[in-house]
Amino acid sequence: MKSIIVVISILVSSASYAVEGYKDIYIDREQDIFIHGIVCGKDFNNPAGLKPSYVYTNEDSISQGTYYYSSPYGNYSLTFKATENSSVMARGLLKNGQTNKEQMEKNVCIVSKLEGLPASISKYLNKVTLKANDPNWDKVMAEYTFIAGKPAFSDGVFEDNRTTARLDKADKEIFDQNQKYLKEVEKIFSEKYEKIAATLPEKLEAAIQYAHKTDGLLLGKTYPPIKEPEVWTPTARERYDDLSRQRTQTIAWDKVIQQNIDWFFGLVGKQNKLTATQLISKTKPQWNERALEQVATVQAEFQNGNSLELDFLITSSKVDSEIFDSLETINRKSHLIRNNPVASAKKPGIPVKLPTSESIDVYTPAEQEVIFFSLFSNKTMGDTYRYR
């Protein structure tokens, strides 16, 4: 112990005690906090006079500068200055709001472990890392502030709640922009919906005319077999397989068309002439998970006095799921990215650019008159019908 004391005493000259005012250092609550255990005293030759203390930093080591604290005994500051020995720093203590450096109580502190120190001193030279997103942050901090006081998170601010005004403002901007994005999507959707809905009566009439014109043309249609090549080369095999697939697809497509026609005439009758088509109602647009949906109902009136009502589900392309995040969710994600050592390589989000008409697709599957009725005959996509 005596040899260590002598070494420290030599390295820490009297000039080291000339603790001046340096930069003010405040703790960022959003970053990890290191709680350094140190031992300080006026004279290292008097081990009994060495007392343990704590210093809070956002760095792995104690920086040269002034740290501020609040305790039940009043506010105080600790000004540290480096010495020739990285394990030793000069410290100036000002209590009860003192600001005059002549009033400083000057000490020398062991701030990290030195080889040869006795266990009675080394046991205090520990460092605790308090992660910014530690669920027990308040509890851990309370244990140390009871002993050493609360660190200042900014000038005169000693509350240990997160000082996230700047960060929360950025998150709020993201949330507000997301709401504008959704409103713009709704505007684009409504404009495109109106155009699509306006064309449906005409498309329904064209589909009925196509059914009358095409019915029976597919019945008895033959599909010649694909002739096998005389020599099976790789190219011949590829050609044969392509033609076989095309034949299979043609048969399947013709079958779908005939099924559409059969369904339609089975419902309204082949001899029942169409007299009029019209758009009779629209629902309000609604979000379904990540897409906007709105129903447009088209009515076809027939000679027998009955009418066929078709409910077309018009849908938008899906929107990024994060656009729907609540402000609370945005806060949680951004805090995780800032504070998690794995996720911190990413950057917190930035406000999204507003969508354009080209970036939002709006459609209804009933675009081709040849399969116009398949939605209803198969009862898919949520489309419904009524014939009465």
Taking each helix axis as running N to C, give the angle between helix 234-268 and helix 165-214, from 0 to 180 degrees, rounded to the nearest 10. Answer: 80
Mean confidence (pLDDT) of the chain: 83
Residue 278: what pLDDT? 94
Reported confidence tier of residue 281, pLDDT bands at 50, 70, 90: confident
What value does the mean pLDDT take over residues 14-37?
76
pLDDT at 345 over 60: no
Q: How far is C-alpha 124 from the geometric centre of its chain's CA atoms?
A: 42
Q: Are residues 84 and 217 both part of a single domain?
A: no
What value does the mean pLDDT take over residues 103-119?
87
Residues ≥6 apart with Cβ < 8 Å to 111: 36, 38, 55, 61, 62, 87, 88, 89, 125
Q: Are residues 173 and 157 both part of a single domain?
A: no
Helices (H) and strands (E) counted in the chain, each on its own, are 7, 15
Q: For the ranges 7-11, 69-73, 179-183, 296-300, which has the lowest average pLDDT? A: 7-11
Residue 153: what pLDDT? 85
Residue 166: what pLDDT? 64
What value does the mean pLDDT take over residues 148-154?
86
What value does the mean pLDDT take over residues 270-285?
91
Strand partners, 110: 39, 88
Count of the separate structural domains present in the chain = 2
CA nearest neighbour of 132 among 37, 61, 34: 34
Q: Are residues 199 and 154 both part of a single domain?
A: no
Residue 6: what pLDDT? 45
pLDDT at 7 over 50: no
pLDDT at 164 over 70: no
- pLDDT tens across 208-242, in order? 998 888 887 777 788 888 999 889 999 999 999 99
pLDDT at 17 over 60: no
Q: Which amino acid is at 365?
A: P
Residue 350: what pLDDT? 81
Residue 140: what pLDDT? 87
Q: Are residues 48 and 185 both part of a single domain?
A: no
Q: Are residues 236 and 363 both part of a single domain?
A: yes
Among 163, 189, 211, residue at a domain's last position: 163
Q: Are residues 158 and 174 both part of a single domain?
A: no
Reported confidence tier of residue 154, pLDDT bands at 50, 70, 90: confident
pLDDT at 78 over 70: yes
The encoded tokens of residue 186 equal 């709704």
Could you give phi then psi for residue 234, rounded to 5 degrees? -55, -40
Residue 18: what pLDDT? 54
3-state secondary structure of 6: helix
Q: Are residues 245 and 380 both part of a single domain?
A: yes
What value does the mean pLDDT take over residues 354-379?
78
Residue 72: what pLDDT? 75
Residue 11: what pLDDT? 44
Question: Between these two residues, 344 and 252, which has the higher pLDDT value?
Answer: 252
What value does the mean pLDDT take over residues 138-145?
84
Q: Are residues 179 and 320 both part of a single domain?
A: yes
Residue 375: what pLDDT? 67
Residue 145's domain comprises: 2-163
CA distance 202 to 208: 10
Q: Are residues 270 and 136 both part of a single domain?
A: no
Q: Are residues 218 and 188 both part of a single domain?
A: yes
